[in-house]
Structures are given as structure tokens and as C-alpha cells.
Chain A
Amino acid sequence: MENRNSKGPEYIQRFSLNFRIQHIVLFVSTITLIITGIPLWCLGRPEYAWSQSVVQAFGTVATIRWIHRVAAVGLIAVSFYHILYLIYSREGRREFIELLPMPKDFVDVTIKSLYFLGLTKNQPRFGRYSYFEKFDYWAVYWGCVIMIGTGLVMWFPDIAAKYIPWLSYELAAEIHADEAILAALALFVWHFYNVHFNPSRFPGSGLWWHGRMTREQMMKEHPLEYEKLVRK
């Protein structure tokens, strides 16, 4: 497949297997959490009592809750692993540095905005991660901290009541639900647009599976990284 020629490889290996597996575990658990989270949120809200009949088709609330918790374990595991990955692997450390917000990102946002407004014809030139990819990453970071924290409070209310009494069950439930709505919207609207519905990507690329990007695409979307790779 790798058709080596003077211009460099046709495909560029952008993400390692390790990184891809992390992403797969993350999205499988997140989507499961969203689907199972909706009926759990409807519990105790009589105006959404109909949701219970939908639940009945798949089992009891206990089953749904069990699935939600299994998925939660997946999310917690991948988050925990990711932190170890960032600290202990060379690759992880490098990725982390690449993902840190830089002044250039703000410049890029400005250029892009001007471009959108038709005030400039220049597009910002991105390195390994564009500002919106960095945004995705840090949004997930923030989301995981909040969702896992408040989720654990509801899962183990006795321990939470003992050690963090200020974070009541109701407050945790409120934050959990509010952040879930934000995260789900960002995921299905923003992230899905960028990777699926965007005309240049529709219906999606296999990047998440094989981790490769074509040279053309690379030159277009991550020119700085491409140039860096070619220079090597």
C-alpha cells in the first residue's frame, strides 16, 4: 500500500494503534453512556414516563443501569490509561505537547474567522493538531473529569456523603445531566460534522480504524506537519 516515491509515501501513518484503540474504547463507551443515560435521566420525571415503556423493550431499568455502569467502567479505564500514556510513553508525551493550546491557535482562529467573513483569502496552516481538534481533545478532558466525578458520587452515595458532603446527590445529578447534554450536543453536532458530515469527509474516513491519511489530505489539512515529516 505504501507507494513510496520521491514525494514521500502515498499514505501517512497519523495515529498509532495504541492511540486508535484508546479512541475506539472512548467512543464505544461514550455512545453507550449517552444512549443508556437518557432513560436513566427520565426516571423520576413523570412527564417522561413514556421513556420507561421504551426501556421495557430492552429489559428493566436495572439492566439499563448495569449497561451504563459497564460503559462507565470503560470510560474510566480509558481515561486512567490515557493519563498513564501521557506520562509514561514517549509517544504520549509528544502527543500531549502537540495538543497544548499555543498562541498560534488563537492566531489561527482569528485568520479562520477573517476567512469565513471573506476578509482574507488565506486559510490558516495547521500543524499536527488544528485548533478545533485541540478543542475536541480538551472538551473531552473536561467532560470526563466532570462526568466521571459526578457519576461516581451517584454510584457510591454513601462514600461521597462521607468524604465530599458538599457535593450532594442532587447537585451531582444536576451537573451530570447538564454536562451530558453539552457533551452529547458537541459530539453529535460538532465532532460529527468535522469527521462525518463535512463535505470533504462525508460519510467519514477510515482514519479511526487504520490511522492513515492520504498525502493530499495531509498537505491540505496539516501542511506544517507534512512539511516537517518530509523535511525529516
Chain B
Amino acid sequence: MNQMRISLGLAIAALLLIPSWIQAQPKRQAPRACPPFYLRDSMGNEINPFKWEQELEDWKKMMGDFGDGAPTDPAVYGMSIPPYSPKRTCGECHNYNKITAGYHFRMGSDVLHDDYGANKDDPWSISDGICGKFSRMYFLQFPRKHFANPNQIDMGLYTWTSRCGTCHPGGGPLEFDRNGHRLDDYDPRGAESSDGDYYGAHWDLSGALEADCLFCHLETYSYQERYEQIQALNFRWAPTAGAVLGKVNGSIAAYLGSLEDPQVETLPLPTVEYNKSLFLPDGRVHLPIKRPSDRNCLLCHDLSFTEKHGTTFGDTYSVDVHSKRGIRCIDCHPGGLHHNFAKGNSHELSVRDDLDGTAHTCEKCHTVGHLGAPKMVHKGLPPIHLEKIGCEVCHVPTLQVAAIGMVDASLGRPITIISSEGPWFGYREEETTLVPLRWAEIRDVIEKLVEEASESEKEGLKDANGDGLPDFDTEEEILKALQALYQIKEFQERQLIYMIKTKVQTFATAFEAFLVYELQPNHTTLTYEVFRDIPEAPKWRPKYGEVVAEWRPVYATDESGKIRAYNNQTAVWWGHKEGDIIVPLFLREISESVDAAVAEANPKDDDKEIIRLHKPQDKYMKFYNDFLDKDFAKDHDGDGKREINTETEIANFSALLRKHLAGKRFEKLNPVLVSGSKVYEAAEDGTVKSYEHPQAKPVLWSVSHNVAPRGESLGAGDRCEECHSPDSYFFFGKVLLDPYSPDADPKPVKIAMAQMMGYPDARPDSAPVIVRTSAFFKWLTIITMTLLVLHIIADLFRRTVGRKGD
């Protein structure tokens, strides 16, 4: 009886406890959806497209009623639906100022100061991030605040924004000047300003570039739309177009152009046409706003083509094992309201180094098996490997994303493509012009190629786009076709190309681009370059080389002596030597000097005009090519791209720069050419000396993503010989050190990987003990086998021929 009572009591007590236990459970928070909200303009007013439409209609009617013949179009009076302002819209509930203080927005601008680099190795830097450092990839620089004349800066902030603002999400330096004034609210002295924030700017028209929250928080955001708005200088309109909330008509760039040209009627300012199907009847919008998806991150961080940094993230061919299992970027790089996302440690970049290593490391999950991560075992692997080698070295064996191995900014390369309607086979004329071949010229070869193709290949070549020609749309097909075309005698001396206008599909985004395929001089490998837009005028930009679609990382030791994986980028650039420091020259300075020198060499007035206007007329290109061929930058190695490499060229080009840049940024220019691992300095008398210098070193981009499945890692399955063998890639793979040797037949200079790691004698057959052992066995084998074979021969002889002698 007692027992029953006790049991009952316990049961009741337990029942009573249940509610409190339930309460004690931490409340599971469902991801809070963003409720419907009003879009707001920069004044904070609600944007209700239905109301706006009505108001504009009323205005039109009212103007018509006056009957005085005045235009009734509200746009004429500057009346149009405004673009939405992310700051006012999202800032209604979220702390916009706190969010945009994060490094993703600031990129070093929080420490921007003209004297930032004064006592550092890079005195030209004005911050620790991209907003202030000199980009060794693009050869562009964020402007100083104060300058005496425009020659001292690469470009004003306004131009910088138009070139870099598609990826830089706005806010921070693209919204406020260095004194904290909003750019579009403050003294727009424009072109005449000697203030880096305002030089050449039309902030009042374009608007400041506010932080675009939906860039990361709306999965369907369109990078292409944003890109087009930034290119059009429609900074204020970019967030509206990027989120595809509406269509933006008109462009500030076109408007400014029409102002300059008195012959043309002034164009209207941009207007927005909101997509009303996105709005609720009360004028609010309801958008699926979420934490950033991988696609959002990759919109910018995936652009690893020739135009973006050499690191890679979104590899659609060999997808990172973590991504495959649903782990998102933000799982390892978490952030918070402050938006200072956890960082890895990129070798090349230095923004907010205090946050380095805050991202989840491999060890964090794989030593304890966090969330079911496989615990690392490395059975049979001598522990020295784990001490000396970073995880990514073995676990990121290959990458399938194009990366740049060489950036040559010694001579910007203007490119003109004659016909942008692709695809077509063509050739490079005078290096800088791409000319299509006529169908009649290649017909026989192409038709023969199709005829001889196997059934499966024929299937691939079928004309799907309906242009009446076989479709060459895989690299293999293009390679074969180009190789076949080189069999034609008259093409053998030409640099053949294949141009295809295509939608480039990256992991995150898609955009129209022009791919120009070329064969390497050995005619067995195909390389390509990507052009986002075909420039109408020759466009100066660095020359990118060694672009390959599939590559293996380069291994080098970091500061702590640990071996890490990198994309090794050799750089060639001009600098001004000041004491021990080489100040990089802007690409702009080089292009302007060449233009001036070309103009000077061709003194006819009408030609000068052509040159001044920078039009791609054949005449200018002819002058330009003839000029550079005269011992300035001849294409000695015949790869279709010019290079400055011989002593004469270096001396001539130095003299050219000295002459045209004197008294501009530097009182007296002391030009030096940094080419790979060497610095070439030409004295005024033309003698060239070369030497090593701490600044003459490759750019090493850390490789940490695209982790391969376990079985594909280096040495998996006890394949020790993958690294420990006489010709292994790991120790003896070739790394580009100098793109050109300084002679008339320039060859790239390459070194063994072991040297990158600081092991000059790593070759197994060079170690003394192995050399001696090998020699011992060699002689042992020779002597033993000689004796044994002699014994056999003598025995045979005696048994047969020599028998009679017995």
C-alpha cells in the first residue's frame, strides 16, 4: 500500500514538473522572417508605386489643364519615382551604422589616412585594405584625400567606385567622405577639386553608393544588373536594379555625355519602373530576406577569371566536399550584427589582420568530430607531415577554375576585337586586334574535320545554334579545330584564335562574356581569356598570362615555416625607385607616356588628333604597333603579346617614362622594371643593371577552399611516392619565377617547388647518402652480373664449342 502511495506521489510530482521542464528548455527560435515593409527613398518617404503612379497622372492632368503648351511629362520637371534607399529602408529596423562599420564595407577605409604608410615598407599605401592599398592584380589605387595636382593620384574616388563598386557592396568609403560627410550631400566641386573624394565626381547626380543589404540577403540578387548600373554611374539606382525590384531606364554616364556634346539633346536622368507584382496592395513588399546563401557570397568571391584575384572559391567541377554536404560559407565564416565575418588568413591581403584565423579551422571540427565531421586519423603518416604541412596542401590537390599565373603591367595592352558577333575563328593582327577569318578560307578544313569525326564527336559538333556552322563549344573541339587550321600553310605564321560570346555560368551568377581561345606555342594546350565587355576604344589593362583552366597549387613556406598552398602569381611592373623602396607606377602613367610618345613620333596634326581622341582607328593602332616594335616592346617570343625584356628595350622604355613622367607625380623619375624575381634599372646613359630586391617576389594567393574527397588528397591510399619520388610534383613541379629571360629569345625561367619551400637540395638523387648508396648498388650490380654472365658464357662455351678441348 505504502509503495503504491509513494509511486503515485512520484508520478504526480513528475507530471507537475513537466511544464517547468518544458519551460526550462531553451526556446528554439524559428528564423525570423522579415515582415512586409515599405521601400523608402533617401528622404525616408515610403515608396508606393501605386500611389506614385496616381500622383504622376494627376500632375500630367494638371499641367494639361493649364493649356499653356508647357510640357506635361513629369520627368521634364525631375519628377519620377525615386529608387529605394537601403539605408532608409533596412535602417528603419536594423542598425545600419553599426553594420556598415564592418570590414566588409570598410575594406581598410576606417584607417584611411594620407600618411598611413609613411614609415612602412609601402609608403604609398594609405590604409591596410583594398581601399587604400595598391592592387597588385589590377594596378589600381584608391585616391589620397589631398593632392596638389591630379597627376599624384591614379583616379578619383568617383572613378574608383565606377570600376570597383560592383563588388564593394557600398557603405563606408563609397557613402561618406573621409571627413564623415555624405558624398552626395556635400560640396560637389567635381572635376576641379583637389580632394580625392570629389575629384572628377558627380556624386550629386550619381548619388552615394549605400550599402546594399539585399546584395547578400536576397538570394535572387542580380550581379549583372548591379554591374550595369555601376558602369552607367547610376550608383543610387544600383540597389533597386540589383534586387530586381524594378527596371532602371537611363544612365548618368549617358546624361553626362549628352551635356558635353552641344550637338546632342540632353538626355533625361534615370527613372525607375517598379515591378508592381512584387508589391502588396498596400504598397509594401514582402521579400524572402535570409542569412546569406553561398550564392550571395560567390557573386563576388567566385569571380576568379582573368579579371579577379587569383584565389578560387566556387569550383563547379570539383566542388568542395563541405559544400557538397550542405555546409554553407557562413557556417565557417560566421558573422553577427557587426558584420565582421570570421576570417581565414590570406597571405596577400592585410585588411583587419587582427581578425585573422577567426574562421573555423579544419582542426576545430576534425579533431573532435564536431557535428559528425570525420575525425582525422592519418594512419601511417609520419607526424612530421602534420607539423610541417598545412591541411590544404594535401587536401586541395587540384583546382578546376581558371587562375592567373602572371600579371604583366609593364605595358598595358589595348585590345580591339573587330567583330563581336561570335563564335568565329580568327587571328590576332598586330597583337592587339582580333580579326575573324572568312568562312571560305576555313571551309575545307572545318568540313573535313566534321567528316572525319567519330559518331559521338559528330553529335557534339551538330549545329544547335542555327548559324549554319558546326558548333565548337567544348574545349576539346576548339583545340582540335585550331590544330587543324594550323595545318593550312598560310595560317601557320598567324596567331589563330577562336572567339565565342557566351553566357559564363559561375557557381553563383551568369553573365555575358567574350572568351578568346588561343593555342599555346606548342599547339597542344588551349588557353583562354575572358572579356566582360568588348571595349570600343583600346582599353589599357595589365596583360594576364599563364591562364589555365586546371591547375595545381604552388607550395611555399609561410612566415612560420609551414608549407602552404598558393596560387603563385608572377608580376611584371614598373616602379620608381626612392632609396631602397620601389613605388609602383600606375598603369595610367604608363599608358599616357606611351600615347604621348606615339603622338610625338608621328607629328602630323590630323594623326595627333586621332591619337588624342584615343579612337581605335587603324591608323593609331599602326602608329602604336610600329612605335613599340622599334626596340620598346617587341613580341620576341611570338606569343602574340608584347613584352619588355631585352636590355635595349628596358633602357628605351625607361628613357620614355623618364621623359614623359618628369615633374608629374615624382620630381625626377627613377624608373625600374620589376620582372619576376629581378629588378632591372637602366641608368640615363642606357646601361642596365639587374639585382634582387625584397619587392621583386611573386604574389602568393592562399588556397584554402575546394577541399577534395579524402581519396583524392595527395598521398591518399599510402601513395607516398606521389610526393616522395624523383619527379614528384610536390618537390619538383615547376614554378614560374621570371616570365621572360632578358634576351632576344625570351624563355620563362622556372624553379623547382622545393626551392619555393626553402629546400634547395631536396632532390632525392642529390642527397649525398642516396648518391653514394645508388653508386654502390650500381657497381655491385655491374660487377656481380658481369662475373655471373662470364661464368654462364664460359660454361656454355665449354659445354658446346670448347668441348673438343677436353
Q: Mark B717-759, 1 if CB is under 8 A from A, else 0.
A: 1111111111110000000000000000000000000000000
Q: Which of B380, B384, B773 contacts A174 (CB 8 A)?
A: B773
A178 within 8 A of B: yes
A87 within 8 A of B: no
Task: Report whether A178 and B781 are in contact in the complex, using a CB–CB cutoff of 8 Å.
Answer: yes
B789 within 8 A of A: yes
For A46, the chain B residues whose CB sits under 8 A away are 727
Q: Which of B728, B784, B789, B800 contacts A182 (CB 8 A)?
A: B784
State A40–B719 Cα separation when bound (angstroms). 10
Q: Mark B757-786, 1 if CB is under 8 A from A, else 0.
A: 000000011010110011001101100110
Task: Report whether A158 and B381 are in contact in the complex, using a CB–CB cutoff of 8 Å.
Answer: yes
Q: Which residue of A lies closest to B723 (CB)?
A: A44
For B381, the chain A residues whose CB sits under 8 A away are 157-158
Q: Which of B384, B781, B788 contacts A190 (CB 8 A)?
A: B788
From 119 to 145 in chain A, residues with beta carbon under 8 angstroms from any chain B beta carbon are 121, 132
Known: A44-B726, A170-B770. A154 touches B720 (CB 8 A): yes
B382 within 8 A of A: yes
B795 within 8 A of A: yes
State A136–B270 Cα separation when bound (angstroms). 95
For A198, the chain B residues whose CB sits under 8 A away are 795, 799
Task: Report whether A174 and B764 are in contact in the complex, using a CB–CB cutoff of 8 Å.
Answer: yes
State A181–B770 Cα separation when bound (angstroms). 16
State A121–B798 Cα separation when bound (angstroms). 11
State A62–B718 Cα separation when bound (angstroms). 9
Known: A43-B721, A118-B805. A157 touches B785 (CB 8 A): no
Q: Which of A162, A175, A185, A200 contacts B781 (CB 8 A)?
A: A185
Q: Is the interface of A mostly helix, strand, loop or mixed?
A: helix
Q: Which of A162, A182, A200 has the most CB of B within 10 A?
A: A182
Q: Which of B721, B773, B792, B794 contacts A44 (CB 8 A)?
A: B721
State A62–B765 Cα separation when bound (angstroms). 26
Q: How far is the CB of B581 from chain A (nearest CB, A)?
A: 43
Task: Report whether A157 and B764 are in contact in the complex, using a CB–CB cutoff of 8 Å.
Answer: no
For A185, the chain B residues whose CB sits under 8 A away are 781, 785
Task: Report whether B773 and A199 are in contact in the complex, using a CB–CB cutoff of 8 Å.
Answer: no
Task: Report whether A156 and B799 are in contact in the complex, using a CB–CB cutoff of 8 Å.
Answer: no
For B717, the chain A residues whose CB sits under 8 A away are 61-62, 65
For B789, the chain A residues whose CB sits under 8 A away are 189-190
B535 within 8 A of A: no
From 188 to 221 in chain A, residues with beta carbon under 8 angstroms from any chain B beta carbon are 189-190, 193, 198-200
Q: How far is the CB of B772 from chain A (nearest CB, A)?
A: 10
For A108, the chain B residues whose CB sits under 8 A away are none
Task: Report whether B383 and A158 are in contact in the complex, using a CB–CB cutoff of 8 Å.
Answer: yes
Task: Report whether B721 and A171 are in contact in the complex, using a CB–CB cutoff of 8 Å.
Answer: no
State A193–B795 Cα separation when bound (angstroms). 10
Q: Name the interface size band of chain B.
A: 35 or more
State A116–B382 Cα separation when bound (angstroms). 54
B802 within 8 A of A: yes
Q: How far is the CB of B587 from chain A (nearest CB, A)?
A: 39
Task: Report whether A132 and B791 are in contact in the complex, using a CB–CB cutoff of 8 Å.
Answer: yes
For B778, the chain A residues whose CB sits under 8 A away are 178
B537 within 8 A of A: no
Q: Which residue of A lies closest to B799 (CB)?
A: A199
Q: How far is the CB of B734 from chain A (nearest CB, A)?
A: 12
Q: How far is the CB of B741 from chain A (nearest CB, A)?
A: 25
Q: Which of A65, A157, A182, A200 contacts B382 (CB 8 A)?
A: A157
A90 within 8 A of B: no
A38 within 8 A of B: no
For A44, the chain B residues whose CB sits under 8 A away are 721-728
A4 within 8 A of B: no
For B384, the chain A residues whose CB sits under 8 A away are 161
Q: How far is the CB of B238 from chain A (nearest CB, A)?
A: 51
Task: Report whether B724 and A43 are in contact in the complex, using a CB–CB cutoff of 8 Å.
Answer: no
Q: How far is the CB of B645 from chain A (nearest CB, A)?
A: 30
A26 within 8 A of B: no
Task: Report whether B802 and A118 are in contact in the complex, using a CB–CB cutoff of 8 Å.
Answer: yes
State A227–B725 Cα separation when bound (angstroms). 55
For B806, the chain A residues whose CB sits under 8 A away are 121
Task: Report whether B726 and A171 are in contact in the complex, using a CB–CB cutoff of 8 Å.
Answer: no
B259 within 8 A of A: no
Q: How far is the CB of B516 from chain A (nearest CB, A)?
A: 31
Q: Which of A43, A160, A179 contacts B719 (CB 8 A)?
A: A43
Known: A45-B725, A46-B727. A193 touches B719 (CB 8 A): no
B796 within 8 A of A: yes
Task: Report whether A186 and B774 are in contact in the complex, using a CB–CB cutoff of 8 Å.
Answer: no
Q: How far is the CB of A114 from chain B (nearest CB, A)?
A: 11
Task: Report whether B382 and A173 are in contact in the complex, using a CB–CB cutoff of 8 Å.
Answer: no
Task: Report whether B777 and A186 are in contact in the complex, using a CB–CB cutoff of 8 Å.
Answer: no
A85 within 8 A of B: no
For A182, the chain B residues whose CB sits under 8 A away are 777, 780-781, 784-785
Q: How far is the CB of B680 from chain A (nearest CB, A)?
A: 35
Q: Which of B764, B784, B802 contacts A186 (CB 8 A)?
A: B784
A226 within 8 A of B: no
Task: Report whether B773 and A193 are in contact in the complex, using a CB–CB cutoff of 8 Å.
Answer: no
Q: Which residue of B lies closest to A156 (CB)?
A: B380
Q: Which residue of A lies closest to B800 (CB)?
A: A199
Task: Report whether B719 and A61 are in contact in the complex, using a CB–CB cutoff of 8 Å.
Answer: yes
Could you list which residues of chain A lie within 8 angstroms of chain B, going by C-beta atoms?
Answer: 40, 43-47, 61-62, 65, 115-116, 118, 121, 132, 154, 156-158, 160-162, 169-171, 173-175, 178-179, 181-182, 185-186, 189-190, 193, 198-200
Having A179-B777, A181-B781, one finds 10 other A-B pairs with CB under 8 Å, namely: A43-B719, A44-B724, A44-B726, A116-B791, A157-B380, A158-B380, A170-B764, A182-B780, A189-B789, A190-B792
13 contacts between A and B (CB under 8 A): A43-B719, A46-B727, A154-B720, A160-B382, A161-B384, A171-B769, A173-B764, A174-B774, A179-B777, A181-B781, A189-B785, A189-B792, A193-B795
Would you list the 9 A-B pairs with minimal beta carbon distance, nearest first?
A44-B725, A178-B777, A116-B794, A161-B382, A44-B721, A170-B764, A190-B788, A182-B781, A43-B721
